[in-house]
Structure 1
Amino acid sequence: MSHQLGRLVSEILHRYFGEIVQQVGKDLFTYGSKPISMIVKTTGLPRIKVVESLRTLLKFHLATFEPSINEVNADYKLNSDNVLLLIRYPRYLLQMKSKFGSEAELLIEELLQQATCSATVLLVTIANKYKDDKDKNITMVKLKDTFISLATAGYIQQAPVEEAKEGCEVPTLVPVATIVPDFEIRNLLQAMTKNISEITDNVYWEVNYDRFHLDFRDEIMIKAVTRRIDENAGELLLHLLRLMYLSSPPWGAESNPTPVVEIRECCQRVAAERPLLNQHFEQYLKVLEENGAGFIRRSGDAGGGQFLVRVRFAAHQLLRCVVEHCVTERLGSNAARIFRLIYSKKYIEEDDIQKHAMLPNKECKELTYKLLEEHFISVQPMRKAASAGGLAKAIYLYHINLHEVANTIRELCYRSLHNLCRRGSHERRLHVRLLDKQRRVRTIVHGMRLRGEPQENIDDVEETLTPPELAVLKNVEKRLKQLSAAELELDRTLFILKWYFMYP
């Protein structure tokens, strides 16, 4: 675990859960797997506070536990990858709203806030919360149908159940197969009149992050092909990816071969929307194979009649683009030219770099050494055999170890994300009074509009925010929006890096 990752994880836990959970999470990150007694000793917190913090971390799948050696106590361990997913929540909600509508967004948002929840409680909570909101027009029928659609598509799944082992006092969580429930609208409407605590539903549900990540991966690949060729080629890749799910593991390095006949049938179903794709199907397939960044290839075992998707190679290509962009941003376009030259040649001497890069010798050497210093390139010394009567000569070959470069980029992303989180926290602390006042005014105005009060009364409440305060709030919101957008962009880069590291 890196130092930069530890700082980032600590800052994220502080933002979402407060100082006490941050201390417990930081202690687990630093020391690894520990029992409660050791956490209390090293953090100096009361035992009840440590237990509450661990309960919170376990509830949101930010920590795991396993039996210790004596199988009496449990050892707890922080799941840093899931902590980083907290930044990705806005992307999950946007994905739901664009694919399934506002009802799906509300369901996923509530489930993310609750971590795990029974289906009946989830539907009743949302229905009661928005029953008076005429703008959203939320009904129990819509919520029920959307929940079933999300469960069928795999975006939500049943939470693991507890299972006790014989002779071990620490239980284990066992995943269970998701069974799509069958709701009775009458029972759901009756549950709306009850207290939440009175609802008896013992099947709990949680968000399936992996299903969202598959969508993000497909979206990145399709956008890359669309920019490189056109929208029809992106549509063709979309059909290939959908067919891949039917016969291959979703995160497999390469999909199983798909016959051209099946691909053509899928394209013919959207012939009205994509007439050019259907008309020039063979040409688009050939262009995608030859100029689609290597995302697909023809299967050699089937005489050219089948194609497969190269998921691992796509991650490799996208990572290379990320690295080139990072080099350009940090060291300039000339440094990126040198980086691309070394990557294309695999191994190259310094004199050959100056010759092929077409840059002044001094600038070329300076940029090469900067790339070496930033760990974007590596150097390999080679010794030539000594000639008769001469001395052995050493040459130095520059090359790129993409795995090491990916680790370098990941550390840079962790550091940048930590700085963004700290800056956002500073902005909120600096203007906490104004932000609280704005939140209260918006809440009051929203309630007044739901009650149908006159616009004059609403204007009076809104005028409690003076023009100077509104100007300050506008600047603060603009800065916070920029910081949030930067966080999501860095998270997208981290997603590509994690995708790359999935494959050996």
Structure 2
Amino acid sequence: MSRVHLELCELLLKEYYGEQVAQVGTFLLKNIGSTLNSITQRTSLETKQVKSILCALVQQNIVRFRPLKPGITGYEASPDSVLWRLRFPSYIHCAKMLYGDAAELLVEELLLQGQSHLDTAVMKTTKKLNDSIVSSGASLPEISHNVIKEKVVTLVKARLIRRCEGVKKDENEKVVSLESHTDPNALFALPTAEDFRPATGSKRPQDAGPQGPAKRIKLESGAAVGTSDQEVPGTSSGPGYWCVNFHQFHHHFRDQAIIAAVSRNIDQRASEVMRTMLRLSETRTDPTFSESVHLSFTEVSIV
């Protein structure tokens, strides 16, 4: 990556998470596949601090890990995941425009937490909506958890949120890497009653008030806010973790730009045809392909 990109990532990490987190994140951007020992030695931070920072960055979907050789884990940071923080307001606004206030708050909660249990996200979203109703003085009925759960299913069907990858463990039950799904549709399997069950026995740290994760994982006075009990996401038993599917938001932004260009250069009817074609090919075309799957005239005309 270029020097400008690296400097921008460093500034964003520092602004969102503090000096020491930025130090570790920038080091991983420069040195792919670094081990815990190399990070500790090169950043002059204590091992406990580095562990806490790595856990926080993994939860924020910025850092991934994999085994380099038996007993040694390598960590690497994704520059895109850092830069996408600049688009967080756009993701939240897009969810609101497409699916309403509940979707907006759900996406906002998942963006702030990085990864979260659905039960936790549903509870917080429900509370925020009901609090806003009370503060507005409107005589509206209280919103139930079931309404928000239905909104979660809608967002999963639209592929705007997804399941997080699980983890692989060795024979000693030690986490060694994240799972890579051969079937990408597994990440978009609709949530079940188990997914909405409250997580029990989790060692993940509780929220530190309304300041959000940026303040929660920041290190103050050389000590990590997270404790030594902090777990890597996906290691606890029970319901899995969920996160925002950034790529689907990007595809939506791309499609809207294409539709607007067709409308501007041809006419409104042509833009509606393009909208239909993009919608039909959305779940049938690999996002990395430059062309969509073949669509018949009948398919487009019927829709």
TM-score range, shorter chain: 0.7 to 0.9
- Report the equivalent of 1:95: 94
Pair 1:179 & 2:189 matched: yes
Gaps of 5+ in 1: 189-195, 267-504
Report the CA distance between 1:263 and its aligned residue. Answer: 1.5
CA distance in 1, matches of 2:76, 2:17: 17
CA distance in 1, matches of 2:16, 2:33: 23
Distance 1:257 1:89, change over 3 A: same
Report the CA distance between 1:247 and its aligned residue. Answer: 4.2
- Report the equivalent of 1:220: 257
CA distance in 2, matches of 1:118, 1:246: 25
CA distance in 2, matches of 1:153, 1:246: 9
CA distance in 2, matches of 1:150, 1:175: 22
Counterparts in 2 of 1:90-489, with a 5 A limit?
90-134=89-133, 135=136, 138-165=143-170, 170-175=175-180, 177=186, 178-183=188-193, 201-245=238-282, 247-266=284-303
- Report the equivalent of 1:37: 37
* 3-state secondary structure, aligned to 2:22: helix
Report the CA distance between 1:132 and its aligned residue. Answer: 2.9
Preserved CA contact (<8 Å) 2:62 2:81 = yes
> Does 1 or 2 have the higher relative contact order (CA < 8 Å, sep 6+)?
2
CA distance in 2, matches of 1:140, 1:167: 39
- RMSD over aligned Cα, in angstroms? 2.7
What is the percent sequence identity of the aligned residues?
Answer: 30
Q: Deviations over 1:184-213 (max 9, x none)?
A: 9xx89xxxxxxx98xx95222111111111
TM-score computed with the length of structure 1 as normaliser: 0.47
Q: Deviations over 1:372-418 (max 9, x none)?
A: xxxxxxxxxxxxxxxxxxxxxxxxxxxxxxxxxxxxxxxxxxxxxxx
CA distance in 1, matches of 2:76, 2:167: 18
- Report the equivalent of 1:20: 20
Report the CA distance between 1:225 and its aligned residue. Answer: 0.9
Report the CA distance between 1:261 and its aligned residue. Answer: 2.0
Preserved CA contact (<8 Å) 2:9 2:82 = yes
CA distance in 2, matches of 1:213, 1:110: 19
Gaps of 5+ in 2: 199-204, 207-236
CA distance in 2, matches of 1:77, 1:251: 22
CA distance in 2, matches of 1:248, 1:126: 33
Distance 1:32 1:182, change over 3 A: closer
TM-score computed with the length of structure 2 as normaliser: 0.77
Amino acid at match of 1:108: V
CA distance in 2, matches of 1:44, 1:218: 46
Distance 1:168 1:120, change over 3 A: closer
Q: Deviations over 1:118-150 (max 9, x none)?
A: 111211122234433214964423212111111
CA distance in 1, matches of 2:30, 2:286: 35
CA distance in 2, matches of 1:40, 1:57: 15
CA distance in 2, matches of 1:202, 1:183: 9
Report the CA distance between 1:32 and its aligned residue. Answer: 2.7
Q: Deviations over 1:49-97 (max 9, x none)?
A: 211111111111111111123x212111111111111111111111100
* 3-state secondary structure, aligned to 2:262: helix
Q: Deviations over 1:264-318 (max 9, x none)?
A: 112xxxxxxxxxxxxxxxxxxxxxxxxxxxxxxxxxxxxxxxxxxxxxxxxxxxx
CA distance in 2, matches of 1:261, 1:30: 51
Counterparts in 2 of 1:76-87, with a 5 A limit?
76-87=75-86
Larger Cα-atom Rg: 1
- Report the equivalent of 2:226: none
More helix by share: 1
Distance 1:256 1:56, change over 3 A: same
